[in-house]
Structure 1
Amino acid sequence: MKVKISEVFRNLSITKRVILGSITLLVMGYMFCLPRQLFHVPYSTVVTARNEELLGARIASDGQWRFPPRNTTPEKIKHCLITFEDKHFYHHWGVNPLAIGRAVYQNIKNKRIVSGGSTLTMQTIRLARNKPRTFGEKIIEMIWATRLEFRASKEEILSMYISHAPFGGNVVGLDAAAWRYFGHSAEELSWAESAMLAVLPNAPAMIHLSKGRETLLAKRNRVLKLLHEKEIIDSSTYELAVSEPLPEEPHLLPQTAPHLVSRFYKERNGQYSHSTIDRGIQMHIENIAERWSNEFNRSDIRNLAILVIDLPANQVIAYCGNVHFDHRQGGNQVDVIQAPRSTGSILKPFLYYAMLQEGALLPHTLLPDIPININGFSPQNFSRQYEGAVPASEALSRSLNIPAVTMLQKYGVPKFHNFLQQTGFKTITRPSSHYGLSLILGGAEATLWDVTNAYAQMGRSLIPNQHSDAVPQKEADILMGEENKNEAIQQKFTWDKGAVWQTFDALKEVNRPEEIDWKSIPSMQTIAWKTGTSYGFRDAWAVGVTPRYAVGVWVGNATGEGKPGLVGAQTAGPVLFDVFNYLPSSSWFERPTGVFIDAEVCRQSGHLKGRFCEETDTVLILPSGLRTESCPYHHFITLSADEKYRIYENCANTEPTFQRSWFALPPVWEWYYKQHHPEYKPLPPFKSGCGEDSFQPMQFIYPPMNARIKLPKQLDGNKGFITVELAHNNPEAIVFWHLDDIYMMQTQDFHKISLQPEPGKHSLTAVDGEGNTVSTTFFIK
């Protein structure tokens, strides 16, 4: 027969109902009396290296050095605490009646409070509540202590206590105390150090390093004696421990990778962050940065940053955000690794890669290196010189600006802009039209983090058994060795291994700061590297990649001042190689298999073999490279026997003739190219009266079409001149000049004249003795 509880309750007397209700309320009150979270206090931000070594910390918001709570308790501290504070810790349920009785007896006998009788569990509750000590508060502590024993294990209670116990001054918790008093972690504490820390929370205001040292020493030695008597430590350990002196004064916390610690302070305030930093490498990198910074300071270059990424692990192992963190001036506290800076030429390899991958370029295709003016944009090479035409790989390794601009013009600014965003350049946020062609020469800003990480991902794609799908990760993930799996919200980007390998093959040819033939020295490792210098000499970059590491270096002034000597190859480059000389070396990347095909290319132009190319090479190219045009510079022509004239096919001619292939560049290319290539022979002109020249024999060097020109003022204040120049492939030609259909003069040998046109639009025409004509239009401001 079932009996309902409600019926039983109705059958009870009123007295029993009250008693039962009261008991129920008490039980429920007991069950819910303990808050879910005991401690509501701010914690210090703590950052460790990959092997748990402390890099640094930032104080909690309440001014206390209180490290985030521990999960375990070191054995030495555990023995010392239990021996000193609560020897029956493992045998009571939060309250020790014997200890309470003894405390009451002693307090009555001495007519003052001389003993509290609190267990470690009760002390944990007192620390959590942080209330004045009263009789009522003691009752609450006892109730909560027994409740805590039901919720947490003994080990958890012990961890709570040592994480929040006061250790004198503004030092709270075991971890902070171990570092502040002994300069190392709690796991490395000796028996003497553990005993000292075990007695400090008992009266931290009365005994510490600067007050009550004799009492502190006596208490410490008493704990060690008890440990010896209980045979927890042997005699020799005891003798060594009691002979160990007390520390003289608190230690400063480590200041390794201070900018990284500050970064975690902003992003993960009050948390314990286990980073991927290798503390040994980090400290050596900081020494390198300090040494070079002292050198650069002579030129008033005050800031320097270095980032080192382990490629196979995809982890940052050294993070030097700047130098002289303790200095409060000169921008030393700026974390330059995260600061957007003008990129200079550091993005050129990505354009080279993109064009190779798409089939818009072959590695050694000739590119123009001549004066250009594109809608008022007139870039110049760093050397202020021109070579007419340069192979693409050489243009990259020498960081020539004009070939890079012509490459970007061909590839398209919007497409390259989108490519950079896909590969993780988070600071390139404005529309592509904002940057224009200057995007490839430093018109955009990027961080050392994004730049180095992009180079690292290129290198990582060439490492066997690594994912070629590079998903841009959160920076904290890489710094903490955590893989970001949320691919659904991040765009996946796949690096083409063949294009990466060809890009690195060109970058390993960049001239090194040592100015030596590094290939002849077996001990020197191969490095793909690139430098960059921003406009106005404000930023100097250098990034290098090997199969093991990617290293990024930035040198300059965080406040933005430019300095004449602030050049990537002269400042950041030497630092980069100093870092690589310290890091373990490795062999070069293996060439990817199954991604290249054989192709016949013109030896002189680097294009695919054309109809009239006679000297060719068989090279490996990407399949997409078959879409590039064949060589446009070789022509099949009929020549006089002495190669002095070209002869038209149907020209009545009694002279002996022969036919051959001839390598001929456009006139302006040729004008500069032959100055650096004495073996180059210009295409001979047509014999007079023997047909029209199918090739344009002349071309304006300056001004280019639609150039916008501002005339400089002379020393006397009068309007200056514009010097126009023309290239002609016939060195004996006479050229007649016309400005706005008005004849000006004629030139021979050197086709260069000075003009002083009025503001506005002008047309300049040149006519040679054979009737060939070329014109250009320009605007005077």
Structure 2
Amino acid sequence: MTISITLLIIGYIFCLPRQLFHVPYSTVVTDRNEELLGARIASDGQWRFSPRKTTPEKIKQCLITFEDKHFYHHWGVNPLATGRALYQNLKNKRVVSGGSTLTMQTIRLARNKPRTLGEKVVEMIWATRLEFRASKEEILSMYVSHAPFGGNVVGLDAAAWRYFGHSAEDLSWAESAMLAVLPNAPAMIHLSKGRKTLLSKRNRLLKQLFEEEIIDTSTYELAVSEPLPDEPHPLPQIAPHLVSRFYQERNGLYTRSTIDRGIQTHIESLAERWSNEFNRSDIRNLAILVIDIPTNQVVAYCGNVHFDRKQGGNQVDVIQAPRSTGSILKPFLYNAMLQEGSLLPKMLLPDVPVNINGFTPQNFSMQFEGAVPASEALARSLNIPAVTMLQRYGVPKFHHLLQQMGFKTINRAASHYGLSLILGGAEATLWDVTNAYAQMGRSLSSNSPSPTVSQGKEAQILLETENTEPINNDTKQTSRNHKSNHNKQKKREQSNSSPISIEENSEETTSAKAGAAWLTLSALTEVNRPEEIDWKSIPSMQTIAWKTGTSYGFRDAWAVGVTPRYAVGVWVGNATGEGKPGLVGAQTAGPVLFDIFSYLPSSSWFERPTDVFVDAEICRQSGHLKGRFCEETDTVLILPAGLRTEACPYHHLVTLSADESHRIYENCANTEPTIQKSWFALPPVWEWYYKQHHPEYKPLPPFKAGCGEDSFQSMQFIYPPMNAHIKLPKQLDGSKGFLTVELAHSNPNATIFWHLDDTYQTQTQDFHKISLQPAPGKHSLTTVDGEGNTVSTTFFIE
């Protein structure tokens, strides 16, 4: 007997499974305040949201009044209710009452077995066992989370949204009463049939609540006057691409995201308006990402527009799609060169035709300016200075830097990209691009003592989910109602994370990074805005550092902006990859960017980092450190590493005739009066283009005839460069094409004599450009000016 009793006790203890419900759940995504953004149906075709931890007070009162008045006073089974049900069923010779408590109904929902007498006994046993395991509140939450509410709607949360279009916490008394009576016979009474029965049962329950003084007279009268909903509501479709992303990555989970629903809905409305404008030019897709820099959290995620339209690539989440970068990576190269001390902000960079192993970059304007200050070249997004910078910095080093910054799609060898890496030769996602710009802003925000600053590499997009495995890069999945644990975890992650840097523990490197970021973002505030106004003269307009990008073939238009509060990334184009005339970053993505910033809260500009910069004397004309012969200088703040850069190479001390009409060679026998003067002189090719845009520039005068050789290079080939490999295009009639060669000379009145492979060709004046038809193979081109100066170049015709 003892053994039997022991076995029965053991069987009773272990009769209840550890997990009652084995059902799939809908993927549910909310914003940071747990307002629903969207959901995807469960794998069994049911709208079944994740289990609740609590039950709203109104639905609790309605359920207990309607289903189980003694819920808080029994241990899972109500003997009086069971006896009454047995008597009624025997009397009517059919099942007219079940006598089940809410605990027994919870067990029936979990077991999902046919309703038989034996099954009823099992339910009673399991119900009493459940009462020992869980509290009354937990049992009630289990019930409301899995009760059927008609059709394919299961659980209170799904029912509240489907029938009333809002959360369960916002249910009225009439709405709560309707949902309380639905599980009693969900197949027989619902919105499309049995509406009178449903209304009658609801009002009867409301009357019970009134008679038991749970609600007052005015509440009762208002409640019974509320009409039933006409039809189920569609679930919200806010941030649908983000919801779909979570559906693919975390199917069946509840996720509280970092999204701010108010900002998100405004951004989506704005994107819709701009998309309608772009559609006139057959530009169909647009994506926007907004990152809150101080908290390192994504507050708006618009992966595309017109999600409901199954055409034109609208289903593509462009935020995660690799696209050609255009010029959007240039600030990171500028930043890196400032940080390592190989560049100063005003340092002149060449803007002349180049041919590097067949790579011939062009500026967007198809013009050249000879030489441009580095910060201006960045602000104007000039391609040739950027290529020159990358050539100096090194493609492998820049490639490695981008990977360190989190550009996951730049995953091929550096040699695959070459110098085109800086002009759109690689692909990146809007997610990675915007994160990288946010990191630049955050490196400045980290100078602030604010404890909310996060140093994580990648912006957070998840706050909580019901899974227990790590999520994203910076957060851990926690229970929906364990926010204190979430906050502790977040603080631990912020204290353990590190900034983007190759030498992450170096205080000097951190300071240099902040200083370089401040200089880079300051340069980007000078980019011309789409509204074409002098924004600095309008006090109400906030300072924004921004950069655009346009890919080859007009396929991708980028714009990214940074303020101390937000980093905003915009992409415009066609997800199918079609190029369109006018699809230019400044003309399409740029206006969208500023429309977004006009809505977002503004903030004052970044404070200049302290104890980072040093004073340096800079040549006003060249932007280099002051050289021996530089007369006009400025004292500016630069990074200490910048003190290692070259002193100005363009100022020379020259001896001139008194009237400055010609130079005098220092060892020349000369009796006329002379003067010595510091002269700013650029290389011949730079000078050729520079003086066209700078009328104040004065080329060096020629040497006095018969007074020695010029110690300065007076002429230089513009094209072809040394050792260039050239393919001659065929003409329309199929004949061999021509090679056009060009040379720059510092003396505008010089006469040039041209020789190809020691064979005289012709002479030129004023404009030194000729056309040749050389045979395949190696060739030597030599030019001689009237003073006997020569210059040669070698090229190959393929």
Task: Work out whether the TM-score is over 0.5.
Answer: yes
| 2:171 is the counterpart of 1:192 | no
State the superposition RMSD in angstroms.
1.5
What is the percentage of aligned positions where both structures have the same residue?
83
Partner of 1:3: none
Partner of 1:485: 493
Q: Secondary structure at the match of 1:192?
A: helix
User: Is the CA contact 1:46–1:271 (under 8 Å) kept in the aligned structure 2?
Assistant: yes
Q: What are structure 2's unaligned runs of at least 5 residues?
A: 466-473, 476-489, 505-509
User: Is the CA contact 2:754–2:761 (under 8 Å) kept in the aligned structure 1?
Assistant: yes
Work out which of the residue numbers 652, 662, 684 in structure 1 matches 2:679.
662
Partner of 1:704: 721
Alignment of 1:600-619 (within 5 A): 600-619=617-636
Partner of 2:449: 465
Distance 1:490 1:280 in 2: 31
Partner of 2:746: 729
CA distance 1:776–1:559, shift in 2 (3 Å): same
1:485 CA drift (Å): 2.9
- CA shift digits 1:598-644 (9 cap, x unpaired): 10000000000000000000000000100100000000010011111
CA distance 1:249–1:477, shift in 2 (3 Å): closer
Partner of 2:268: 286
Partner of 2:313: 331
Partner of 1:228: 210
1:526 CA drift (Å): 0.7
Distance 2:187 2:105 in 1: 16
Q: Secondary structure at the match of 1:90?
A: helix
Q: Aligned AA for 1:730?
A: N
Work out which of the residue numbers 627, 640, 643 in structure 1 matches 2:644.
627
User: Is the CA contact 2:723–2:795 (under 8 Å) kept in the aligned structure 1?
Assistant: yes
Distance 1:359 1:479 in 2: 43
Distance 1:487 1:695 in 2: 58
Q: How many residues align?
A: 763
Q: Aligned AA for 1:233?
A: I
Partner of 1:29: 11
Distance 2:458 2:493 in 1: 9
Partner of 1:183: 165
| 2:338 is the counterpart of 1:356 | yes
Q: Aligned AA for 2:159?
A: A
User: Is the CA contact 2:455–2:498 (under 8 Å) kept in the aligned structure 1?
Assistant: no
Distance 2:425 2:496 in 1: 32
CA distance 1:492–1:362, shift in 2 (3 Å): closer
Work out which of the residue numbers 209, 215, 218 in structure 1 matches 2:191.
209
1:475 CA drift (Å): 5.1
User: Is the CA contact 2:443–2:514 (under 8 Å) kept in the aligned structure 1?
Assistant: yes
Q: Secondary structure at the match of 1:744?
A: strand
1:31 CA drift (Å): 0.6
CA distance 1:477–1:165, shift in 2 (3 Å): closer
User: Is the CA contact 2:255–2:463 (under 8 Å) kept in the aligned structure 1?
Assistant: no
Distance 2:795 2:559 in 1: 39
1:473 CA drift (Å): 3.5
**After the TM superposition, which of the residue ranges 684-693 and 542-551 deviates more from structure 2?**
684-693
Partner of 2:664: 647
Partner of 2:712: 695
Distance 1:533 1:280 in 2: 31
**After the TM superposition, which of the residue ranges 202-211 and 267-276 deviates more from structure 2?**
267-276
User: Is the CA contact 1:303–1:558 (under 8 Å) kept in the aligned structure 2?
Assistant: yes
CA distance 1:529–1:728, shift in 2 (3 Å): same
Distance 1:212 1:228 in 2: 24
Distance 1:613 1:586 in 2: 40
Distance 1:99 1:763 in 2: 108
| 2:507 is the counterpart of 1:507 | no
Distance 2:463 2:761 in 1: 67
Q: Aligned AA for 2:690?
A: Y
Q: Secondary structure at the match of 2:444?
A: coil
Q: Secondary structure at the match of 1:396?
A: helix
Work out which of the residue numbers 87, 112, 115 in structure 2 matches 1:105.
87
**After the TM superposition, which of the residue ranges 463-472 and 58-67 deviates more from structure 2?**
463-472
Q: Secondary structure at the match of 2:64?
A: helix
User: Is the CA contact 2:456–2:497 (under 8 Å) kept in the aligned structure 1?
Assistant: no
Partner of 1:5: none
Alignment of 1:166-565 (within 5 A): 166-463=148-445, 464-465=448-449, 470-473=455-458, 476-477=461-462, 482=475, 483=490, 485=493, 492-493=500-501, 496-565=513-582
Q: Aligned AA for 1:581?
A: S
User: Is the CA contact 1:405–1:440 (under 8 Å) kept in the aligned structure 2?
Assistant: yes
1:477 CA drift (Å): 4.6
Distance 2:767 2:317 in 1: 54
1:760 CA drift (Å): 2.1
User: Is the CA contact 2:31–2:259 (under 8 Å) kept in the aligned structure 1?
Assistant: yes
1:189 CA drift (Å): 0.1
1:135 CA drift (Å): 0.8
1:146 CA drift (Å): 0.5
Partner of 2:479: none
Q: Secondary structure at the match of 1:293?
A: helix
Distance 1:77 1:471 in 2: 42
Alignment of 1:42-81 (within 5 A): 42-81=24-63
1:27 CA drift (Å): 0.7
CA distance 1:478–1:510, shift in 2 (3 Å): farther
Q: Aligned AA for 2:566?
A: Y
**After the TM superposition, which of the residue ranges 455-464 and 112-121 deviates more from structure 2?**
455-464
Q: Aligned AA for 1:773?
A: T
Q: Secondary structure at the match of 1:766?
A: strand
| 2:113 is the counterpart of 1:131 | yes
Q: Which has the larger radius of gyration?
A: 1
- CA shift digits 1:30-68 (9 cap, x unpaired): 111100000000000001111111100000000000000
Distance 1:773 1:262 in 2: 68
Q: Secondary structure at the match of 1:778?
A: strand
1:474 CA drift (Å): 7.0
CA distance 1:418–1:487, shift in 2 (3 Å): farther
Partner of 2:484: none
User: Is the CA contact 1:469–1:492 (under 8 Å) kept in the aligned structure 2?
Assistant: no
Distance 2:442 2:580 in 1: 35
Distance 1:135 1:777 in 2: 100
- CA shift digits 1:277-306 (9 cap, x unpaired): 111111111111001100111111000001
1:409 CA drift (Å): 0.3
Q: What are structure 1's unaligned runs of at least 5 residues?
A: 1-18
Q: Aligned AA for 2:456?
A: V
Q: Secondary structure at the match of 1:251?
A: coil
Q: Aligned AA for 2:174?
A: A
1:469 CA drift (Å): 8.2
Partner of 2:468: none
CA distance 1:664–1:541, shift in 2 (3 Å): same
1:735 CA drift (Å): 1.3
Q: Aligned AA for 1:630?
A: A
Partner of 1:151: 133
Which TM-score applies when normalising by structure 1?
0.96
Distance 2:777 2:233 in 1: 74
Distance 1:776 1:55 in 2: 65
CA distance 1:336–1:148, shift in 2 (3 Å): same
User: Is the CA contact 1:316–1:478 (under 8 Å) kept in the aligned structure 2?
Assistant: no
User: Is the CA contact 2:255–2:464 (under 8 Å) kept in the aligned structure 1?
Assistant: no
Distance 1:230 1:672 in 2: 92
Distance 2:76 2:86 in 1: 18
Distance 1:466 1:605 in 2: 40
Partner of 2:781: 764
Distance 2:456 2:102 in 1: 49
